[in-house]
Amino acid sequence: MRSSASSPRKTQLFTALPALLFITMGLTACGDETGEAAPAPNGQDAAAQTPANDEEMVDISAIGFDEGDLETAVVQVVEFSDFGCVHCANFHQNSYPVLYEEFVAAGDVVWKYIPVSIAGFPNAMEAAMAAECAAEQDAFRPMRSWLYENREGWMGTGDPHGMLQSAATDIVDDAAAFEACMNEGGRALERIQEGTELALEIGVRGTPTFVVQGFPVQGAPPLDQFQEALRSLVAEVRAQQGN
């Protein structure tokens, strides 16, 4: 896995796509810390949005983290997630490892994870910063795992910086550089802000939200439905390409 900043890439948000099988299923997502969905821009109901008729090309090369082979993948999934969200944690601890092995490791899907902070969870911005700062030492994935596994701990602590710094000593090679990144913010903070702004602009009101080959899916679908949808989509795109 590497930051997509090293590989310029644009994605279509949103584009016409045959309805995926899971979009009518019961999806689970976090709103703000009161349980209410975050307000959508311009008073629109993001949950009811449909893909725009005109394809909108959005440059997301400077934010997020790619997993997968850009050369062989035929489908892109963009995920907006908040480390404070229990549904994001459940998805990454239970569903994503299965999806990763079947689709990402197999070379069919590139998965871009964009950390955001939109729901007001305690210490969630510090957690997102920890992920970004670890990523600067190519340790995003282990830090992401730690944050989800220890979600209740860092959310409940009065010293999130100290707790995250302590965790980083077992995750990154240069703890001093990690601490400097956490203290200074810099480009790491800017990436979180840019990802969050993009999420709000496209109508994300809860996390996780996925953009699957340009089609927005707000909330985590059941694993079997996600698998079925991605299998169908990969097969469809490969058939169109004659592969």
Q: 170-197, pLDDT tens digit by residue?
A: 999 999 999 999 999 889 999 999 999 9
Which pLDDT belongs to residue 214? 87
Burial of 107 per CB tally in 10 Å (0-12, 13-18, 19+): middle
pLDDT grade, residue 59 (50/70/90)? Answer: confident
Mean pLDDT of the 61-82 span: 93
Q: 223-238, pLDDT tens digit by residue?
A: 999 999 999 999 999 9
Q: 105-137, pLDDT tens digit by residue?
A: 999 999 999 999 988 899 999 999 999 999 999
pLDDT grade, residue 26 (50/70/90)? Answer: low
- Which residue segments constitute the domains of the chain, with CATH numbers given? 2-236 (3.40.30.10)
Q: 131-181, pLDDT tens digit by residue?
A: 999 999 999 999 999 999 999 999 999 999 999 999 999 999 999 999 999
Matching residue, tokens 């699957």:
212
Mean pLDDT score across all residues of the chain: 83
User: SS3 sequence, 203-225?
Assistant: CCCCECEEEECCEEEECECCHHH
Token readout for 195 is 């990802």
Which residues, 6+ apart, have CB-to-CB distance to 69 below 8 Å? 107, 110
Of 104 and 16, the one with more pLDDT: 104
Residue 41: how many other CB atoms lie within 10 Å = 13
Residue 110: how many other CB atoms lie within 10 Å = 24
pLDDT grade, residue 56 (50/70/90)? Answer: low
Mean pLDDT of the 9-36 span: 49
Which pLDDT belongs to residue 1? 45
Mean pLDDT of the 37-42 span: 42
Mean pLDDT of the 87-99 span: 97
CA distance 207 to 9: 23
Q: 206-229, pLDDT tens digit by residue?
A: 999 999 998 899 999 999 999 999
Asked if residue 101 has pLDDT above 60, the reply is yes
Which pLDDT belongs to residue 55? 52
Mean pLDDT of the 77-103 span: 97
